[in-house]
Copies of this chain bind each other. A is one copy, B any other.
Amino acid sequence: MIGLAVFASDAISSTAYATEEILLILAAAGTAAFSVSIPIALAIAALLVIVTLSYRQTIYAYSNGGGAYIVARDNFGELPAQVAGAALLTDYILTVAVSISNGVAQITSGIPALAGHRIELSLVVIIIMTVINLRGVKESGRVFAIPTYFFLGMAFLTLAIGIVRYFSGTLTPLQHLEPIEAIEPLGWFLILRAFSSGCTALTGIEAISNGIQAFKEPKSRNAATTLTWMSSVLIVIFLGFTLLAHQINAVPSLQETVISQIARAVYGQGFFYFIMLTGTALILLMAANTSYADFPRLAALQAADGFLPRQLTLKGSRLVFSWGIVVLGILASILVVFFRAETSALIPLYAIGVFLSFTLSQAGMVKRIWKIGHMKPGEVIHNNVTTLEYDPHWKPKMVMSGVGAFVTGIVMLVFAVTKFAQGAWFIILLIPTLVFIFFRIHNHYREVARLLSLSGKKPRINPGPVLSVLLVEDVHAGTIRMVNYAKSLGCNWKAIHIEVNEEKSEMVRQKWTERVGEGELIIVPSPYRQLAEPIRGFIETELSELEDGYINVIMGHLAMDTFWEQALHQNITIVLGLALQGLERVVLTNVPYQIHHLEHNGNGDNGQLATTGTTAIEQPAPPTKSTP
């Protein structure tokens, strides 16, 4: 039950727009063509059955999680896996953009006064969702259960009342001003385009195969049962909505979603109407939120394999993949702005990736089952994601996955061809580009690993002299701390001050003599008032005199208690890091001096070892193991 709630939101939420997208395409052939939506919906339902049966096999085969990326990598190797990865990442971004745009459209259908602010509302929702996910959501099934079952309850209620009223003859069609006139004939191409649009109903169906590990034992069986339930519910709601939409003469429009029209016809514009819209908006938001878990997880997987920047594997302090979440939020926002938060403008980009990953995943299953069929009876092969075991009934299973791969592959081609001009071309260009970039990244990591490799040899370790160079901007308590540290090191040291302003450097020199009174302070002129360049010049000169040794550039850092206070102080580390780029054996040391808000007695270095009172992280020192 909870498994359904957690994983179903993405798949089931697509019923909110799939019917409307079919009608929108058919509208080109006039209102009269709307009746074709029923056979189209039936074809999509049949496709859904095939995909579901096929995915049930994947769930049993990859009981530790079998997303398209893992299945493709396991059976076909790196290239197809990266293609699946690119397709899925693209689609996760689109899921956020589509679901939030459509969720907002449901709300503005009920409250037309907000209609002019669709883009702003969508952006606000994305920002809130990004922030919440950055702070970390406990993936508690209960929280997910509420909107999912709320929507399911409302959807079934709407269907039930709608059907009862239909048979009792009290379901009156909505009044529309005038029927839409045909601008093109109802040909096969148009029907296929409408079918493609409706196939967005299948997005999200793969969610369960990604998250098998979250199920109770027996995992695969529970996951497969949940998948069957989810698909059944999805088919019923999708067909029901399509049927009702047809009965009430719903017309796709930017002002009012088809769901809103159905609810209005069934309930009138009262309490239940708004409840139905709220439920629809909520499940769409849950669907978008699912991508906030899936995108960073897949990106981390690809990053761990070295195909995306390694930083994506870093979990933030709240156990979330922060970078992935931020990237997803930004890209989804760009899509929303660019496509003006219009679902139907985003749809041609959507679903290609989903179907590409379906195809790769099912094709991978075909190869896997073929391998199983050619093993010796009783033979078992383990690898780190799955276990192969001979199965005498492999042939019908292979046919099942084969049919799945073939059908989804055909749908992908139909989608690509019929939606090419509307935006599919972008995804068709984007996916290979991404794959190319992934491999560039991979080659970079391999190259660096090679350059760093010690190839088993024990390298010489030959220490040299160290010269510390203190960067002095002014002479204050923080400067004294730097000098103190430099002296503590026991190596040679010099201080330099970059003269941007002659008066100031005179003052610094004087203060240095009075308050430090030891060591050498060198004033380096900077005629162009630059900071970085004269420092680099000085270090380069010193380097050339120093053989086999190190220059330790010491800079002070005023450490503040809060982020905003810190933001008011120059972070020279970054600037200096850039300035000293490429210099071998130049080491950067940052000597912090803590400035505390409430302590009003901190003048100068009092030699005490004070840790702050407000240690953010309090955990006992962990036990350590050491190696001699």
Q: How many Å lie between the Cα of A587 and that of B557 in the bound state? A: 10
Chain A 434-452 interface residues, beta-carbon cutoff 8 Å to B: 441, 444-445, 448-449, 451-452
List B contacts of A586 (CB < 8 A): 592
Q: A537-B622, A589-B589 are in contact. Are A477 and B454 (CB under 8 A)?
A: yes
Q: How many angstroms between the C-alpha atoms of A531 and B626 in the bound complex?
A: 18
B483 touches A461 (CB 8 A): yes
Give a binary string over A611-626; 1 marks a CB under 8 Å from any B CB, 0 the rest: 1101111011111111
Complex-state Cα separation, A515 to B518, whole angstroms: 42
Instruction: Evaluate contact between A513 and B627: CB separation under 8 angstroms.
Output: yes
- Would you list which residues of chain A between 498 and 543 have a CB under 8 Å from chain B? 509, 512-518, 520-534, 536-538, 540-541, 543
A568 within 8 A of B: yes
> Is A550 an interface position by the 8 A CB rule?
yes
A371: CB under 8 A from chain B? no
Once the chains are docked, how many angstroms separate the CA of A463 from the CA of B483? 9
Known A550-B485, A559-B581, A594-B582: A517·B452 in contact at CB below 8 Å: no
For A484, give the chain B residue with the smallest CB separation. B461
Complex: how many Å from CA A368 to CA B8? 74
Q: Which residue from chain B places its CB closest to the CB of A597 in the assembled complex?
A: B447
Query: Is A140 an interface residue, CB under 8 A from the partner?
Result: no
Partner pick for A550 among B488, B548, B582, B617, CB 8 A cutoff: B488
Chain B residues within 8 Å of A620, by CB: 537
Q: Does A185 sit at the interface, judged by CB under 8 A? A: no
A457 at the interface (CB under 8 A from B): yes
Query: Which residues of B have CB within 8 Å of A397?
Result: none
Assess whether A309 is in contact with B522, with CB atoms less than 8 Å apart.
Answer: no
A38 at the interface (CB under 8 A from B): no
A614: chain B residues at CB < 8 Å are 582
Tell me whether A532 and B317 are in contact in the complex, defined as CB-CB below 8 angstroms, given that A582-B559, A620-B537, A627-B512 are known contacts.
yes
Residues 281-322 of A contacting B (Cβ, < 8 Å)? 309-311, 314-315, 317, 319
Instruction: Write out the residue numbers on chain B whose beta carbons fall within 8 Å of the beta carbon of A589.
Output: 552, 587-590
- How many copies of the chain does the oligomer comprise? 2
Determine whether the beta carbon of A607 is less than 8 Å from that of B543: no
How far does the alpha carbon of A25 sit from the alpha carbon of B444 in the complex, in Å? 61
Contact of A543 among B570, B588, B609, B625 (CB under 8 A): B609
When the two chains form their complex, are residues B525 and A622 in contact, meaning their CB atoms are under 8 A apart?
Answer: yes
Contact A459–B480 (Cβ < 8 Å): yes
A628 within 8 A of B: yes
**B residues near A540, Cβ cutoff 8 Å:** 611, 615, 621
Instruction: Please name all residues of chain B whose beta carbon is closer than 8 Å to the beta carbon of A488 when the two chains form the complex.
Output: 463-466, 549-550
* From B453, B491, B515, B612, contact of A582 by CB (8 A): B612
Contact between B587 and A590 (Cβ–Cβ < 8 Å)? yes
In the complex, which range does the number of interface residues on chain A fall in?
A: 35 or more
Take A317-B532, A621-B537 as given contacts and tell me if A310 and B609 are in contact as well, using a CB distance cutoff of 8 Å.
no
Is A478 an interface residue when CB atoms closer than 8 A count as contact? yes
Picked from B309, B520, B591, B607, the residue with its CB within 8 Å of the CB of A568 is B309
Contact between chains at B459 and A515 (CB < 8 Å)? yes
Residues in A189-207 with C-beta less than 8 Å from chain B = none
The reply to whether the CB of A32 lies closer than 8 angstroms to some CB of chain B is no
Bound state CA distance, A625 and B457, in angstroms? 47
Contacts of A561 in B (CB 8 A): 582
Bound Cα distance A591, B466 (Å): 13
In the complex, the answer to whether B514 meets A458 with C-beta atoms within 8 Å is yes
The answer to whether A490 touches B490 (Cβ under 8 A) is yes
The yes or no answer to A567 lying at the interface (CB within 8 A) is: yes
Beta-carbon contacts under 8 Å, A416-444 to B: 441, 444
Name the distance in Å between A484's Cβ and chain B's nearest Cβ. 5
Give min CB distance, A453 to chain B, whole Å: 6
Give CA–CA (A602, B444) in the complex, Å: 15
Docked complex: A11-59 residues within 8 A CB-CB of B? none
Q: A491-B489, A568-B445, A582-B614 in contact; A534/B622 too (CB < 8 A)? A: yes
What is the CA–CA distance of A567 and B489 in the complex, to the nearest angstrom?
33
Known: A609-B548, A611-B540. A466 touches B489 (CB 8 A): yes
Q: A219 contacts the other chain (Cβ, under 8 Å)?
A: no
Q: Give the nearest-CB partner of A530 in chain B.
A: B317
**Does any Cβ of B come within 8 Å of A583's Cβ?**
yes
Residues of B within 8 Å of A627, CB to CB, are: 509, 512-513, 520-523
Do B475 and A463 touch across chains, with their CB atoms under 8 A apart? no
Chain B hits for A455, CB < 8 A:
603
**Which residue of chain B lies nearest to A552 when distances are taken between CB atoms in the complex?**
B589
Report the minimum CB–CB distance from A470 to chain B (whole Å): 12
Given A514-B458, A594-B584, decide whether A617 and B533 contact each other with a Cβ distance below 8 A.
yes
Contact partners of A457 in chain B: CB under 8 A: 515, 604
Bound complex: CA A516 to CA B620 (Å): 30
Is A610 engaged at the interface, CB distance under 8 Å to the other chain?
Answer: yes
Closest 5 CB pairs of A and B: A452-B476, A582-B612, A463-B488, A541-B621, A463-B487
Given A311-B570, A454-B603, A586-B592: 9 more A-B contacts, CB < 8 Å: A319-B528, A441-B568, A448-B569, A458-B515, A488-B549, A526-B622, A537-B619, A587-B589, A590-B590
List 16 A-B residue pairs with CB atoms under 8 Å apart, sorted by A's residue number. A448-B569, A452-B477, A452-B595, A454-B480, A459-B515, A460-B605, A466-B489, A520-B626, A521-B627, A522-B625, A523-B627, A527-B622, A538-B621, A541-B621, A547-B609, A590-B590
